[in-house]
Structure 1
Amino acid sequence: MTIAIQILVLGLIILSVISLVTVPVILASPGEWEKSKNIVYTSAGVWSMLVIITGIANLFIA
């Protein structure tokens, strides 16, 4: 179970770093928001689910 949580946290870190770079670039580029807003919303949803799943999985570790 510990390895599963470590993989979840690694995925969370990777997605956070990718979002940290790409979201400001998308928002600063003219016309990119209309093309990429679905990707931003989807990645935010995936990030939120990773946080929730990691928190729930962490409850089972004693």
Structure 2
Amino acid sequence: MTTAVQLLVFILVILSTLLVVGIPVTLASPGQWEKSKKLVYTSAGIWAGLVIITGVVNSFIA
């Protein structure tokens, strides 16, 4: 179970890094927001779901 939490946290860190870099670049690029809006919202939803899933799985360890 600990390995599952470590894997979830690793995926969360990678996705967070991609979002921290990708969202400002998307917002700063002219015309890219309209093209990438759905991808940004989907990525943010996946990130939020991953935070919740990681918390639930972690609660079974303690």
SS of the residue 2:61 aligns to: coil
SS of the residue 1:54 aligns to: helix
How far apart in 2 are the matches of 1:48 and 1:33? 21
* Letter in structure 1 aligned against 2:21: V
TM-score for the superposition, normalised by structure 1 = 0.98
Whether 2:36 is the aligned partner of 1:24: answer no
Deviation at 1:13, TM superposition (A): 0.1
Whether 2:51 is the aligned partner of 1:54: answer no
TM-score for the superposition, normalised by structure 2 = 0.98
Question: How many percent identity over aligned positions?
Answer: 65
Aligned residues: 62
SS of the residue 1:9 aligns to: helix
Q: CA RMSD in A?
A: 0.4
Q: Structure 2: 5+ residue runs without aligned partners?
A: none
How far apart in 2 are the matches of 1:22 and 1:48? 16
Deviation at 1:2, TM superposition (A): 0.2
The superposition leaves residues 13-58 of structure 1 with CA deviations (integer Å, 9 ceiling, x where unpaired) of 0000000111000000110000000000000000000000000001
